[in-house]
Structure 1
Amino acid sequence: MSASPEGANVFFVLLGAILVFAMHGGFAFLEVGSVRHKNQVNALVKILVDFALSTLAYFVIGYTIAYGATFFQSAATLSGDGGTFLPQGLTLVKFFFLTTFAAAIPAIISGGIAERMKFLPQCIATLVLVGLAYPIFEGIAWNGNYGFQSFIESTFGAPFHDFAGSVVVHAVGGWIALGAVLHLGPRLGRYTKEGKAIGIPPSSLPWLALGSWLLCVGWFGFNVMTAGSLDAVSGLVALNSLMAMVGGILVALVVGRNDPGFVHNGALAGLVAVCAGSDVMHPLGSLVVGGVAGAIFVKGFEYCQLKLKIDDVLGVWPLHGICGAWGGIAAGIFGLEALGGIGGISFGAQFFGTLAGVVYAFAIGYLVYGVLKKTQGIRLTADEERRGADLSIHKISASPEHDIGR
């Protein structure tokens, strides 16, 4: 007996969705380890609630904006009508898979706004960003909406290529986060009146490391299973992801002077950067792309925090925003046949598409959080911030039994 191709593809995409869903646990624990103990519960709750809100927003409107299909139909139709909805619910597991990508937007933002953001305004932002803002650019890049890809192809000879979301997911999330962080301002005590940075150490390097490991493992579902079917899957994507991760780790180790936070985030920087061109680059090209991303993260984090005085707690702007943009552009360099790539890409298309994503995301982030700041207020009061988001918002700490002395 042989399984149907549709059934095999359903299982394949479902496994990818599960792996990327697990990455949200990685986002949570990366933040838990990076923030102070008094904000750990808030980090865990934010990521989980944001995922739930993202799923609802994407189900009701986001997926329809990006791909033109609505789920307000009978279960029989959704399971596979041979038209819009593929047999055996393949479209439904693809929705699950794409939902995990969409929910990465607020998960990325969460790391930048940590320790001083109000809870309700962030929930509202999640609904707007995942329901409206993200799907517009997703549809442009991955579904050819609004003629953008046709314009790029006619102008540069190839469409904008972003296989697994260096720009669509990571750069967009990172540049939206920058807008949010600029509106929030730095945490209390982060800088002196003279502008000197005061170090705020992470609460737990083991939790931080666990978050990085979970993200790294799940990333192979993020990249490889973007293929969407067994017929289209490529081992090249897996090897390129591995080599970029390794490059990010080793360069961050050297440039970051053995700092464990830089090392574990260096792995993520490499994986962020390789997403766009993981299906067209040579493994050695991916190693270089990941290595450059590792250096970009370390230097970008230091410049952001020490020179620009932007208190991006987990460094999500340099990690996702800048490294994601680098990945989009790098696909147009290392994907070229002259550098061992498969070809079919254009540097001009990659540069223009990446720039469009960056400008769009920053404008959206600055607008959404600016409106929320004016209408709702987005920052905890000084007393609430000193007490910590755990007690101020959730009325419980990460160690309640310890707090009552039992």
Structure 2
Amino acid sequence: MNTAGLDVFFLTMGAAMVLAMHAGFAFLEAGTVRKKNQVNALVRVITDFGFSTIAYFFVGFSVAYGINFFVPVSELNILGGKTNGYEMVHFFFLLTFAAAIPAIISGGITERVRFWPNALATLIIVSLIYPFYEGLIWGGNMGYQGWLEATFGAPFHDFAGSVVVHSMGGFLAVGAVVLLGARKGRYTKDGRVVAILPSNIPFLALGSWILCVGWFGFNVMSAGNVEGASGLVAINSLLAMVGGLLAALVAGKNDPGFVHNGALAGLVAICAGSDIVHPVSALVIGLVAGACFVYGFQFVQTRLKIDDVLGVIPLHGGAGLWGGIAAGIFGQSSLGGAGGVTFMAQLVGTLTGVSIALVAGFVIYGLVRAMLGIRLSEEDEYHGADLSVHNISANPEQDMASH
């Protein structure tokens, strides 16, 4: 039976589920920021998706896979030797991954970043930086995977992007957050942390739930076709998610922000090895990720004094790093995994992605800051990005009535 049309439908559903995850990013951020920055959070997430689409369509997809769309429609339908326009929906699916990078970064830099300079950084990252590493790992570019296999006995295994997507986003955010500096009033002159409370816990929880549901498209549909779809990926994603939220519940002492983000930490960590580890190992990977997120968040905020608003550095960067390495531990047949991985290949592949992201984050946001400036003025930050950038609040009718 010709399954080409079925594969296109399968991947379209996956792309739609990951597209829905961007609503999760938006509401997670809108619920975490102060009320005066909710509109800005929502607008930046959806417009970053728009900028990402343009960047990935015209440049990024070609950088990663050597495929462009500048041919007649008759040729578009059979790009890459696939029929039914498969490569076009493949682009759509992978675009939703690429666009997750600025959505991740957004959570770290929110409440004080300028709109258009940030949009420029998004265009650069999704055109060049992310596709460069994506192409090394998933596109077979520059012989990198062959070198890893020859040197360490296996290529780097990242089934659904613990490192390719999440660590890249989390560690790109380091440069952005550090160069922006902390929100006004976040730290006292003697270094004490001042609590800045979230605006809406139900929005935060809704964002987490949307992300959790969409993640099963993120992971399961990474197979790329119906024949490759695996129930193992689904159950591993489920158990890692549960492990993450339960560990964060305990480590975070019932804090709802930690619980809802802990579920996401587990899902971040299982992406890499979801197709090769045993379900019990997936639970362990999630438990470690959830606990490490809580302690990592506290370390970044209180010890390093880095004002990463949503905790994207430990959540995506740290949990993604752990997931890449964990695949090399629990994926081995001696621990009940499917095999085909080595610890050293996973370690080197992971550290390669982290290094690229760290350097690129400082370079790109440093250049944008030098050319345009990236931080709102003190007055605009005080009034909030909603009024300063968009001239409207989250509840305009209610605000008018109160005056």
TM-score tier by shorter-chain length is: over 0.9
Whether 2:13 is the aligned partner of 1:32: answer no
Matches within 5 A, 1:199-218: 199-218=195-214
Cα deviation for residue 51 of structure 1 reads 0.2
* Other-structure match for 1:233: 229
2-structure distance, mates of 1:346, 1:334: 10
Cα deviation for residue 12 of structure 1 reads 0.3
2-structure distance, mates of 1:121, 1:75: 35
Q: What SS is found at the alignment partner of 1:404?
A: helix
Which amino acid in structure 2 is aligned with residue 272 of structure 1?
V
* Other-structure match for 1:377: 373
What is the TM-score when the length of structure 2 is the normalising length?
Answer: 0.99
* Other-structure match for 1:13: 11
* Other-structure match for 1:358: 354
* Other-structure match for 2:386: 390
1-structure distance, mates of 2:175, 2:264: 22
Counterpart contact for 1:79–1:85, Cα < 8 Å: no
* Other-structure match for 1:275: 271
Whether 2:76 is the aligned partner of 1:78: answer yes
1:401 counterpart (382, 389, 397) = 397
Backbone CA RMSD of aligned residues:
0.8
What is the TM-score when the length of structure 1 is the normalising length?
Answer: 0.98
Change (3 A) 1:85 1:392: farther
Q: What SS is found at the alignment partner of 1:312?
A: coil
Count residues in correspondence. 402
2-structure distance, mates of 1:72, 1:118: 34
Which amino acid in structure 1 is aligned with residue 276 of structure 2?
V
Whether 2:98 is the aligned partner of 1:102: answer yes
1-structure distance, mates of 2:213, 2:142: 35
Whether 2:130 is the aligned partner of 1:134: answer yes
Which amino acid in structure 1 is aligned with residue 13 of structure 2?
L
Which amino acid in structure 2 is aligned with residue 297 of structure 1?
F
Q: What SS is found at the alignment partner of 2:63?
A: helix
Counterpart contact for 1:78–1:85, Cα < 8 Å: no
Which amino acid in structure 1 is aligned with residue 232 of structure 2?
L
Whether 2:281 is the aligned partner of 1:285: answer yes
Q: What SS is found at the alignment partner of 1:292?
A: helix
* Other-structure match for 2:239: 243
Q: What SS is found at the alignment partner of 1:88?
A: coil
Cα deviation for residue 76 of structure 1 reads 1.4
1-structure distance, mates of 2:260, 2:18: 18
Q: Deviations over 1:40-95 (max 9, x none)?
A: 00000000000011001000010000000111111111112xx5252111111110
Which amino acid in structure 2 is aligned with residue 206 of structure 1?
P
2-structure distance, mates of 1:369, 1:205: 31
Cα deviation for residue 139 of structure 1 reads 0.2
Counterpart contact for 1:164–1:276, Cα < 8 Å: yes
2-structure distance, mates of 1:130, 1:137: 11
Cα deviation for residue 6 of structure 1 reads 0.5
Counterpart contact for 1:269–1:293, Cα < 8 Å: yes
2:60 counterpart (59, 62, 70) = 62
2-structure distance, mates of 1:236, 1:348: 24
Cα deviation for residue 326 of structure 1 reads 0.3
Whether 2:331 is the aligned partner of 1:335: answer yes
Which amino acid in structure 1 is aligned with residue 303 of structure 2?
K
Q: Deviations over 1:269-321 (max 9, x none)?
A: 00000000000000000000000000110000001101110000000000000
1:266 counterpart (257, 262, 265) = 262
Q: Deviations over 1:164-196 (max 9, x none)?
A: 000000000000001100000000000000010
Q: Deviations over 1:347-399 (max 9, x none)?
A: 00000000000010010001000011111000000000000000000010001
Q: Deviations over 1:237-262 (max 9, x none)?
A: 00000000010011000000000000
Cα deviation for residue 325 of structure 1 reads 0.3
1-structure distance, mates of 2:301, 2:167: 19
